Amino acid sequence: MLGENHSLLSEFPEMKDAITSLVKTDEVFASDMAKYDELDKEIRKLELDGSPIDDGEMHQLKHDRAVLKDSLHQRLVG
């Protein structure tokens, strides 16, 4: 679905307490989460604007978001 919110809290609402705790205590996690959320906002904006970039660039942005999401999730469950 275009423009869907994939923020970390939206993706893992059951981990809200762990996310909040790590943001406060782990600077690297907080920085990576900020990058993830910013990338997600950029992707949503591009989707809602009719994707004014080529498919390869959009694919790369979504790939980068997925890699960050996986990394953040591993730190949440690890």
Radius of gyration of the CA atoms of the chain, in A = 13
Number of helices (H) and strands (E) in the chain: give both, helices first: 4, 0
- Whether residue 4 has pLDDT greater than 60: yes
Look up the pTM and report it.
0.86
The DSSP line for 15-63 is GHHHHHHHHHH-HHHHHHHHHHHHHHHHHHHHHHTT--S-HHHHHHHHH
Judge whether 2 lies within some domain: no
Full domain range(s) for residue 59: 8-77
pLDDT tens for 17-69 read 999 999 999 999 999 999 999 999 999 998 888 767 888 999 999 999 999 99
| pLDDT confidence bin for 2, thresholds 50/70/90 | low
- Name which residue leads in pLDDT, 30 or 3: 30
Tokens for 11, please give them. 């993706």
Count of domains forming the chain: 1
Instruction: Check: CB of residue 32 under 8 Å from CB of residue 71.
Output: yes
